[in-house]
Amino acid sequence: MTRMRTVDAIALILEKEGSTEAFGLPGAAINPLYSAMRAHGGIRHTLARHVEGASHMADGYSRAVAGNIGICIGTSGPAGTDMITGLYAAQADSIPMLCITGQAPTNKLHTEDFQAVDIASIAAPLCKLAVTVLEPGQVPGTFQKAFGLMRNGRPGPTLIDLPINVQQAQIEFDIDTYEPLPVANPRATRAQATKVLDLLTAGKRPLLIAGGGVLNADAASELVELAELLGVPVVPTLMGWGVIPDDHRLMAGMVGLQTHHRYGNATFLASDAVVGIGNRFANRHTGGLETYRRGRTFAHIDIDPTQIGRIFNADVSVVSDAKAALQALLELAKERAAEGTLPDYSEWAQEVRARRGELQRKTNFENQPIKPQRVYQEMNALFDQDRDTVYVSTIGLSQIAGAQMLHVFKPRHWINAGQAGPLGWTGPAALGVARALPGKTVVALSGDYDFQFMMEELAVGAQHKLPYIHVVVNNSYLGLIRQSQRPFEMDYQVSLGFENINSPQTQGYGVDHVKVAEGLGCKAVRVEDPSQLAQALATATSLAAEHQVPVVVEVILERITNIAMGSELDNVNEFEDVASSATDAPTALVPMPVAVSA
């Protein structure tokens, strides 16, 4: 045993737990921990401009690679409350993230001391563990418990609040006897797998739904192997997009009211047996449950027992880690394949592929100002050439249209704050992704309002050499809110446009995003002509590689475009023309005759 400060023990624990990437900012109440990180040297720190931004960076870092647990660090009081939105985004999407806050001394907690706030109570509803550590000797065990909770069961964030006197106290600690807690997640039994497989193969038109739990379990390869063995098409949810390549012959498309494909909804409505794995049956996926459930049997597999039956009672329900469940299903399916007792779904799969080739949305618009659909067409044309391109987005018409029209080919290559959808998340999350994936092409997608929420974090990318491309589709509107105001026959407090006296070239669109980006140390390109989109995206890619900074591509859109969405899966308003020929959607993925490896 060695006598040391608790913060020195924390630095050693973080390294042994494999969590060595921190985002945040120092301050009086957390400086002892920073002194330990500086002395120890095993933890890399990225200085944010806002603590909420730091929390989104840690979130993005955690999402980018299986097993990552990003750290967000801040001083006391408002630093902790600034983390709350980041904790909510991580909790809502089952993302592990460790937040560490400084706190006033323990003998001042009851005196309303400067920046002393009960952050553990504030954060508790959003965390698997939120605690203020009052006894120095409990610090190692608290961190051990936090990491164990983040890795076991449904992942989620934790917050550990450290009074400054607890940070500086001396304890006896031996890192050689410290070990991470074992992971022991529920596993589907053979009997459970049998019931699930029986339900699926009893159908004539079955589907597999792959949710974010498949990614959390690092089980995309098992999912694709099972789909190929059975010949059953796959519907990824928005959080699971990428578990199967978009050009795989069994990719059936996404289903939902907003982030969906036309062919995905049509295929789902034609199905009769559905197995959901690691998904929540969220309302933007299901729409009305009567339409969603009519004529179908369901099995639901999820690691979280509280998700079972939360939305509706499935015919078969199993509490299991997604990888374990898929392994059990694979073992059983292989046995039946050897016996020759698996049904032949080739006709159904061909029907799904044909539907994908027919039900595309038009993207090939020549309009000026630019229609947003053309932006995604040009993004596909360039970024599909690199199947390692990683997209980052959060909310708004930009995210909805992007999910309808972009292409994703690998797991964790669509990184999206799904359930919480906080404006401002995209930019800092993209910085966290860029930190986690050096050398990869990272492309963020924002509307102008999402971009404006936390655009100061661009300076972090410039300072720390974190290159990525940020496509900002600018209609100078709160586009999704404007569209949702249509039933009220109003267009109220949703316009961001004004005459910028310093930038007349913005033509009433208001903020000059190019000047802002350049002022923060980044590069930027503005596009107003659709014929220049391809060159602008290529230029941005080159600039990011050359200068190792974020590059903003601002695309000036027409002010109003309604993006396809609806109230039910069978009642989606397309608004715009759908593709009438191959030239209308030149980068649409066509059905593949053979499987593409995952």
Looking up residue 449, the CATH number of its domain turns out to be 3.40.50.970
- In DSSP terms, 473 is beta-bridged to 447, 555
Instruction: Say yes or no: 96 and 214 in one domain.
Output: no
- List CB contacts of 44: < 8 A, sequence separation 6 or more: 20, 21, 22
Q: Is residue 367 part of a domain?
A: no
Q: Is residue 185 part of a domain?
A: no
Q: Which pLDDT score, from 0 to 100, does residue 398 have?
A: 87
Q: Which two tokens stand for residue 340?
A: 């020759």
**Residue at 292 is within a domain:** yes
Same domain, 446 and 531: yes
User: What's the pLDDT score for residue 214?
Assistant: 97
Pairing type for strands 97-103 and 129-132 reads unpaired
Contacts of 278 (CB under 8 A, 6+ apart): 210, 211, 212, 213, 214, 215, 216, 217, 219, 240, 301, 302, 303, 322
Q: Is residue 406 helix, strand or coil?
A: coil
Distance CA 159, CA 36 (A): 19
Report the pLDDT value the prediction gives residue 593, as an integer from 0 to 100: 35
Instruction: List the one residue out of 431, 408, 429 whose CA is nearest residue 417.
Output: 429
- Single residue among 297, 332, 358 that ends a domain in this structure: 358
Domain that holds residue 63: 2-177
Give the per-residue pLDDT at 490: 77
Does 589 map to a domain?
A: no
Largest CA distance in the chain: 76
Cβ atoms of 149 and 95 closer than 8 Å: no
Query: Would you state the pLDDT for residue 591?
Result: 42
Distance (Å, whole) CA 568 – CA 297: 19
Name the residue among 228, 202, 478, 205 with its Cα closest to residue 334.
Answer: 228
Same domain, 349 and 380: no
Rounded Cα gap, residues 160 and 312, in angstroms: 35
What's residue 69's pLDDT? 98
- Give the span between the Cα atoms of 564 and 576, in whole angstroms: 8
| Alpha carbons 418 and 88: distance in angstroms, whole number | 11
Same domain, 169 and 200: no
Residue 339: Cβ within 10 Å count? 8
Residue 100 confidence (pLDDT) above 60:
yes
CB–CB of 432/454 below 8 Å? no
Domain count, the chain: 3
User: In this structure, what CATH number is given to the domain that contains residue 275?
Assistant: 3.40.50.1220
d(CA 112, CA 422): 31
Are residues 202 and 306 both part of a single domain? Answer: yes
pTM: 0.94
Write out the two tokens for 372. Answer: 């947003």
577 domain-assigned: no
Give mean pLDDT, residues 104-121.
Answer: 88
Of residues 417, 470, 429, the one with CA closest to residue 53: 429
For residue 589 the two structure tokens come to: 């993925």
Co-location of 407 and 556 in the same domain: yes
* Mean pLDDT for all residues in the chain: 93
Return the structure tokens found at 362.
Answer: 């038009």
- pLDDT tens per residue across span 72-93: 999 999 999 999 999 999 999 9
DSSP state of 388: T
Specify if 576 maps to a domain. Answer: no
Structure tokens at 139: 């610090």
Identify whether 593 is part of a domain: no
Residues 36 and 132 in one domain: yes
Rounded distance between C-alpha atoms, residue 46 and residue 54, angstroms: 8
- pLDDT of the residue at 574: 87
- Alpha helices for 340-396 (secondary structure H): 346-358, 372-383
DSSP state of 559: S
Q: Give the Cα separation of 464 and 537 in Å (integer).
A: 23
Q: Is the pLDDT of residue 579 over 80?
A: no
**598 pLDDT tier (thresholds 50, 70, 90):** very low
The pLDDT value recorded for residue 495 is 75
- End position of a domain, from candidates 328, 358, 388: 358
Mean pLDDT in residue range 489-506 = 77
pLDDT in tens, 339-380: 999 999 999 999 999 998 888 888 888 998 999 999 999 999
Kindly indicate the confidence band of residue 491, based on its pLDDT and cuts at 50, 70 and 90. confident
Read off the amino acid at residue 320.
Answer: S
Q: Which amino acid is at 161?
A: D
Whether 574 is in a domain gets the answer no
Least confident piece of the model among 207-211, 316-320, 587-591: 587-591
For 78, phi and psi rounded to 5 degrees? -65, -20
pLDDT greater at residue 202 or residue 583: 202
Domain shared by 223 and 115, yes or no: no
pLDDT tens digit string along 266-323? 999 999 999 999 999 998 999 999 999 999 999 999 999 999 999 999 999 999 999 9
Instruction: For residues 367 and 560, give the distance between their C-alpha atoms in angstroms, rounded to a whole number.
Output: 13
Which residues are paired to 4 by β-bridges? 171
Over residues 27-67, the pLDDT tens digits come to 999 999 999 999 998 999 999 999 999 999 999 999 999 99
- Identify whether residues 159 and 235 lie together within a single domain: no
Nearest to 104 by CA among 93, 94, 117: 117
Q: Are residues 416 and 513 in the same domain?
A: yes
Pick the closest to residue 60 from 389, 419, 429, 469 (CA basis): 429
Q: Among 156, 177, 198, where does a domain finish?
A: 177
